[in-house]
Structure 1
C-alpha cells in the first residue's frame, strides 16, 4: 500500500502485475478458455472425415436457400414493375418500388458476401524476435477504463512495447502510464483526431507491427500469439479480430441469461459478414482489436486523416495498393458496448458519416487498384447506411394507404398477396440460414426502427462539404435514455396512429370500396406499430447508473459484519463496489468486509451497504466504496478483467440460433437446469 491510513486500507491483494517485465507473466486469463478433454479430442478425431462432409452439406443447403430467395425476389420485383405499378399514383408507386428494389439489392449483396465463410486455418506460431508495439489511443475516457486496457495490453505474452497515446494530455493519464511502466505519448495538438494520434505515435515508435486497441477494448494474453503468424505472408497488411462486448445488458444486446445466450447488433457483421469478406480479400480494419504492418501503413501514407472513419478508409487504400488482409474469427479481446441509446446513436452517426466521406472522396468504384470483388464488398458496406431512407418509405406506405385509400399497387388481390408472401418468406428463411446462428430477424428489424433516422442523417455526409468532427462516444456514461433519441420513433408512432384512425373513420363512413387492400395495409401498419413499441421499450428500459461496469464473479468469500461472520458468494465486483450474497438470517450493519481467495488472485475489501434485497438464495447486498487508487485500483482492475473474460468465454461465446446453424439436435443435454441468480 502506498498509504497506511485506515481510509485507504480497504483492499489488499496481489499487485505483482507491477513487475516491469510483463512479457513473461502468466495470466489467469488463460483459464478463461475451456480445458481440453482428451476423450472429446479422440472422438473428434474419429469424426474428422465426417464433419467436413456434413458442414459442406449444410453450406449447400444455405446456398440453395439464398439462390431460391434471389430468384423469387427478382421475379417479384420484375412482376411489380411490369404488372402492378399503379400508373394513377406514380408519386407513390415509384418510391415504394424503389424501396423494395433496394431491399432486394441489399439481400443479393448479403448473399454474395456470406456465400462462403469458412474460417482460415490457424496461423502458425509467430517466430521470435518480431518488434511489436501496442497502441492504446485515449482522449477523455475515465481512468478505470484506461487502466483495465493498459493492464490487458501489458499482460499480452508475446514481447512488445505498450504505448498510451493521450490526446487529452491529462496529468492523471501520464501518472497512470508511469505507474504501470508503459510508454506515454501526448502530442501538442489534436489535428486529425484518432488517425492523427496514431500517425504521431508511429513517428515516436519503431515496431514493425502495431496492434491497436481502443480504450474500451481489453486484449487477452494470447492476442499476438494468435495473430502475428499470419504476417509470414509478406504482402499481408493487417489482421482483424472480432469485437465482442462483455456488458451483455447493453442497449445493443439481446441476452437470454437462462439459456446462456447473447446476441448484439454487430454479431452478424463480426461473425458472418467479415469472414465472408475475408474470402474476397475484402475484410477491413475496424479501428480496434487488429494488428497492422508498419511498412503497409507507410506505403499508404499512414492512417487516413481525411475522414472520420480512418479504419475503413485506410483499409481501402491498402487493398488498392495490392496489400492483403486477414480476418481471425476468434475472440481475442472484450470491449464495452454503448450502454444506453445516446452513445449508440452517436457512434452509428459517426460511422455512417465517415463512410459517406470515403465514398465521396474515393469510393469503391473510383479507387484504382481494387479488384472487382473488393469493389462489390466495399459498395455493400456503404449501401448499408442508405437503409434509413428505405425504411422511412416502408414505414409510411401502408398507413398512408389505410388513411387515404390511394394504392401504389394495381389490383391488390390474392395473387399479389401470394407473391408477396413467397418473396418475404424465402428471404427470411435465407437470411436465417445464411446468418449461421446470428441472423435474428425480429431483433434486426427492431434496430432498423431504432436507427433509421440516424442513418438518414449519416447520408448527409455524402454531400456535406463541411469538415466533420470526430466525436468520441461515451460508452461508460451513466444515466437513463436520452429522450431526444426517441423523437423520430415517436413521430412514426403518431403518424401510424393518425393514419389508422383516419382510415377507420373512412371505412365506417363507407368511403373505402376495396376491403382486401384495407385489411392488408392495416396488417402492415400493425407491424410498423409493433416495431415502434419494441424500439421505444428497448430505448427506455436500458438504463445504467453505475460509474463502472461490474464483472460477474460467482466466487466464494469469507465475510465479516459486526460480530457476525460466515461464508458467502461474491456475485460481481468493480473498482467502485461489489454485490455479495449472504445466507438468510444474516444481519449486516453499516459495512461488510470480505476476503476472496482464488487461484492467481487474492482480495480483501470492505464496503458500505447501499442496497439490501431478499432473494431466494439469501440476502443480496450492494456494497460501495470510493474509487480505488494506486495498488488497490490495480488489484481490482486486474480481477475485474480476468473475471469478465472468463465469464463471457465460458457462458456466452456461442451462436444464438441452432436452427440457423442447421444443428437440429443438441450435442449434449444437461441432467438438470442450473439455477441462476437474477440481480
Structure 2
C-alpha cells in the first residue's frame, strides 16, 4: 500500500524571519501593560472581591488565577527578545572547528528506529544520502535499529549505510544512541528519528556554529510536512447541506470559524504545528543560551557529549560514596557497574541531557538554536499517536521535576533557570488548571460565585488585563495561532493528570515511540475523560439556566451570563480533542488511502522500572 505521506512530498518549509524592531517594541509595550494590569487585578482580587458567602471556593479560584498569571509572567520572560546566533560558513579545517589532529572533519548521522516500517525509514536514509557535505568533511550514515529486524538490516545493505543493532532496549532511545556512539568515532553526531528527512543544506547551515569551540550542540526546528490542510467551511457545509441548501448553508462559514477557532474543517486536527514553540519559544531562549535539545534535527560535538557523561558519572558516584561509604575509594566497584550514559537513560533524554550541560558551569559548553527549518518530519495522525506523544512529554517532564529538577542544580545561570522554570510551570499547572476549568460549572451547579459580585468594578479590573494579554500574545507570537496551543493544553489535562499521578507514586515513565503510521479508529476510548467532562459541563449549564428561569437565589442574570460564557469557552477547548478523535482523512479520488483499524491500540502504560 502506498504510504499516506506520499501525497505531501512536494511540501517544503518556509523561511522564518526574525521579529522586526518595530514588532518587538509593540510586543514589549503590550507585555508591560499586561503585567501592570495583571498585578492591579490581583491586588483588587485579593483585597476587594472575595465572596464571604463562599470563601473557600473564592480563595481557591483566586489562588488558581494568581498561579496562572505567574505562569504568564514567566512566559513573557521566556519570549521577551530574540537573540539569533550569527551564522558562519561551515569550517573546512579541523582547527576551524576547535578540533585537534589532521585529516577531515568526520560527521556521523544516526537514524534511530525501533518499530517503524521500512516505508517510513527508507525516505529518511535517502534524504540523508542527498546531503551536501561541506568541504573538508566526511559524512557517514548509520541506521540504529533498536528492534533488531532483518528487514532493516536488508534496507541498510541496500542503501549502503551502516547498521547497528541491539539485543535489548535498555535506556530507550538514549541507549540506542549510546550503542552507536561507542561503535563510531566521528567528531560530530547528527541525531535523526526514523521519520526525520534532513534537507540537503542541513550540514552547510549548521556546522558553521561549531567554529566556536565552546558550542556543544545545535538544535534545528521540527517541521511537520504532512499536516492536513483541511476543507474550507463553505465547501464542507455545502457538501452536507445538499444541492438545494448549499448556498444558504455556506453562509454559516464565518460563524463556524468563530465558534470552532478553525479556519478549515480537518486542518491540523491534532494541533501538531510546532512552529509557535520552535520559532517563538526556542528561538528566544537562545538569547540566554537556554534552548534545550529536542533530539531529532540536532547536531552534537562528540567531545561535549562524552565530557558531559563523565561529569554526570562523577557526580553520581560522589553522591553514592557520600551516602553509602565512609571512604570514596570504596565506590570504585560501583563505578565499574554504572554504565556511562552519553545521553541520559530517560524517556526525555534530550531535555535531561540539556539540563546537565547547561548547569555544568565548569565545562563552559553552550548550545545554539538555528532558527531556520532544516528537516521534515511526520506528525501524529491518530488519537493513539497523539496520546502516546502527550503522555511521553508529560511523564518525562514530571519525572525530571521530581528527581532531577534544574531549579535546584548548582551552576545553572539564573536566566537559564527561569527558562526551565517556565517549561516546568506550564506542566505544573496541572494542579490548578482544573480549578479554572471547572469553576464556572461549580458556580452554575451550586449557585455560588467566586467573586463578591459581577459588578462594573469586576469588569473594570478584569477586562483590561484580558484584552491587553490577548493583544500582547498576538504581537509576541508573530501571528501564530495561540488558541490552538491553549485548547490542546486544556484538552490534554486528563493525560497530564494521569502522568503526574503515576510519577508521584514512584513509577518511572516508559513509553513506546510515537506511532509514525496512522491507525484510524472510530473509538473514543482515548478521550473518554474529555467526553465525560463535556457532559458534566453541559449538565451544569442546563441546570444553571433552569435555576435562573425559575428565579432561584444566587442565579442572577449577570452570574449566569459570565459563567455560561466562561463555561462555553472551556467546553470548546475540552471538545477539541474529542473532535480530533473523530477526524478522518480526506478520501479524495486518486489520493493514497490511509489504512483503517478494526480496534484501537492499547493505551501506553506508565510502568515501574527497576
TM-score of the superposition, structure 2-length normalised?
0.78
Task: Quote the offset at 1:437 in angstroms.
Answer: 1.9
Partners of 1:361 and 1:402 in 2: CA distance: 40
Deviations 1:62-105 (A, max 9, x none): 10111111111111122111211224423312221122112211
Task: Quote the offset at 1:543 in angstroms.
Answer: 4.4
Aligned to 1:154: 129
Q: Does residue 281 of structure 1 match 2:289?
A: yes
Aligned to 1:454: 495
Aligned with 1:187 (options 149, 153, 166): 166
Aligned with 1:110 (options 75, 92, 96): 75
For 1:118-157, list aligned pairs within 5 A: 118-128=83-93, 129-157=104-132
Deviations 1:374-417 (A, max 9, x none): 11111111122133443321221112112211112112212102
Is the CA contact 1:341–1:481 (under 8 Å) kept in the aligned structure 2? no
Is the CA contact 1:95–1:393 (under 8 Å) kept in the aligned structure 2? yes
Aligned to 2:209: 230
For 1:652-667, list aligned pairs within 5 A: none
Deviations 1:170-218 (A, max 9, x none): 0110010011010000122211110011011110000010000001111
Partners of 1:622 and 1:484 in 2: CA distance: 29
Task: Quote the offset at 1:306 in angstroms.
Answer: 4.1
Is the CA contact 1:254–1:264 (under 8 Å) kept in the aligned structure 2? no
Q: Does residue 360 of structure 1 match 2:365?
A: no
Aligned to 2:582: 540
Aligned to 1:490: 531
More helix by share: 2
Compared CA separation, residues 203 and 387, structure 1 to 2 (3 A)? same
Partners of 1:305 and 1:105 in 2: CA distance: 31
Is the CA contact 2:79–2:285 (under 8 Å) kept in the aligned structure 1? yes
Aligned with 1:427 (options 436, 451, 469): 469
Aligned to 2:415: 373
Compared CA separation, residues 312 and 416, structure 1 to 2 (3 A)? same
Compared CA separation, residues 254 and 127, structure 1 to 2 (3 A)? farther
Is the CA contact 2:352–2:400 (under 8 Å) kept in the aligned structure 1? yes
Aligned with 2:227 (options 244, 248, 260): 248
Is the CA contact 1:399–1:525 (under 8 Å) kept in the aligned structure 2? yes
Task: Quote the offset at 1:342 in angstroms.
Answer: 1.9
Aligned with 1:311 (options 350, 360, 363): 350
Partners of 1:80 and 1:306 in 2: CA distance: 45
For 1:194-209, list aligned pairs within 5 A: 194-209=173-188
Aligned to 1:501: 542
Aligned to 2:359: 320
Aligned to 1:96: 61
Compared CA separation, residues 485 and 30, structure 1 to 2 (3 A)? closer
Deviations 1:18-50 (A, max 9, x none): xxxxxxxxxxx9996899xxxxxxxxxxxxxxx
Q: Does residue 216 of structure 1 match 2:195?
A: yes
Aligned to 2:307: 299
Is the CA contact 1:85–1:408 (under 8 Å) kept in the aligned structure 2? yes
Task: Quote the offset at 1:465 in angstroms.
Answer: 1.6
Is the CA contact 2:488–2:576 (under 8 Å) kept in the aligned structure 1? no
Is the CA contact 1:341–1:482 (under 8 Å) kept in the aligned structure 2? no
TM-score of the superposition, structure 1-length normalised?
0.70
Compared CA separation, residues 254 and 319, structure 1 to 2 (3 A)? farther
Aligned to 1:551: none
Is the CA contact 2:384–2:519 (under 8 Å) kept in the aligned structure 1? no
Task: Report SS of the residue matched to 1:476.
Answer: coil
Task: Quote the offset at 1:258 in angstroms.
Answer: 14
Deviations 1:105-129 (A, max 9, x none): 1211111111111433223223252
Q: Bigger shift: 487-496 or 427-436?
A: 487-496
Is the CA contact 1:387–1:452 (under 8 Å) kept in the aligned structure 2? no
Partners of 2:62 and 2:91 in 1: CA distance: 53
Partners of 1:316 and 1:33 in 2: CA distance: 29
Q: Bigger shift: 397-406 or 514-523?
A: 514-523
Task: Report SS of the residue matched to 2:20.
Answer: helix
Task: Quote the offset at 1:455 in angstroms.
Answer: 1.9
Query: Mind listing any 5+ residue stretches in structure 2 that lack a counterpart?
Result: 3-8, 94-103, 231-260, 310-340, 596-610
Is the CA contact 2:116–2:515 (under 8 Å) kept in the aligned structure 1? yes
Is the CA contact 1:156–1:219 (under 8 Å) kept in the aligned structure 2? yes
Compared CA separation, residues 337 and 68, structure 1 to 2 (3 A)? same
Deviations 1:338-362 (A, max 9, x none): 0122211211111111111112222
Task: Quote the offset at 1:624 in angstroms.
Answer: 8.4
Compared CA separation, residues 135 and 389, structure 1 to 2 (3 A)? same
More strand by share: 1
Compared CA separation, residues 230 and 76, structure 1 to 2 (3 A)? same
Is the CA contact 1:96–1:397 (under 8 Å) kept in the aligned structure 2? yes
Aligned to 1:442: 483
Aligned to 1:335: 377
